[in-house]
């Protein structure tokens, strides 16, 4: 074998090894076997679980969708850092029965099995005891997600009040 052939064979072997190393996490990501498309489908399921958990005031369903490094920014600009602070806020909020938050997901971007982003338009409605809307504010929240240990978790929740 010439040194050129040996070099080409070595390069091919290194390339195959590198591709195999990259393909393993993608093939196993989120228990999908279809790579980036599977990760995107898993993301959409997780996003829906997250939003349904908020709508249904379900802390147990919300918890696995939240990353340890979560940062929550309210429309006022106040910040809660960390999963524990995020969950504590939601526990108190979910205990209040006098609100609802209809929403529309307006934009989603998924970058393989690495990161994702969702923009959600929502109207926070305070309700009276009869379930009638007392006040309403129009807002957006941007959720930033990462793929961590085989699952999607939200790491940032930025809320912005929109003009009425």
Confidence bin at 7 (pLDDT 50/70/90) = very low
Confidence bin at 34 (pLDDT 50/70/90) = low
CA distance 59 to 66: 11
* Full-model pTM: 0.78
Of 150, 125, 147, 121, nearest to 135 by C-alpha is 125
Q: For 79-99, how does the pLDDT look when each residue is reduced to its tens digit (9 = 90+)?
A: 999 999 999 999 999 999 999
Predicted confidence (pLDDT) at residue 162 exceeds the cutoff of 90? yes
Give the pLDDT score at 24. Answer: 28
Predicted confidence (pLDDT) at residue 122 exceeds the cutoff of 70? yes
Confidence bin at 77 (pLDDT 50/70/90) = very high
Query: What's the Cα-to-Cα distance from 90 to each of 32, 38, 77, 97, 129, rounded to whole Å?
Result: 30, 30, 17, 12, 21
Average pLDDT over residues 129-143: 96
Predicted confidence (pLDDT) at residue 109 exceeds the cutoff of 60? yes
Give the pLDDT score at 11. Answer: 35
Q: Which CATH class is domain 43-161?
A: alpha beta
Average pLDDT over residues 27-39: 60
């Amino acid at each position: 074998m010439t040194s050129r052939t040996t070099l080409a064979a070595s390069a091919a072997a290194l390339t195959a090894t590198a591709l195999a190393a990259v393909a393993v996490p993608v093939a196993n990501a989120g228990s999908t076997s279809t790579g980036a498309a599977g990760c995107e489908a898993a993301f959409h399921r997780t996003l829906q679980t997250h939003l349904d958990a908020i709508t249904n005031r379900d802390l147990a369903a919300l918890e696995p969708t939240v990353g340890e490094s979560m940062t929550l920014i309210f429309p006022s600009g106040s910040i809660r850092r960390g999963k524990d602070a995020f969950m504590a806020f939601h526990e108190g909020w979910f205990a209040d029965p006098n609100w609802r938050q209809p929403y529309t997901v307006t934009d989603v971007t998924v970058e393989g099995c690495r990161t994702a982003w969702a923009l959600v338009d929502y109207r926070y409605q305070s309700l009276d005891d009869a379930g009638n809307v007392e006040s309403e504010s129009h807002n957006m929240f941007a959720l930033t997600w990462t793929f961590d240990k085989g699952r999607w978790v939200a790491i940032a929740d930025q809320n912005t009040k929109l003009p009425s």
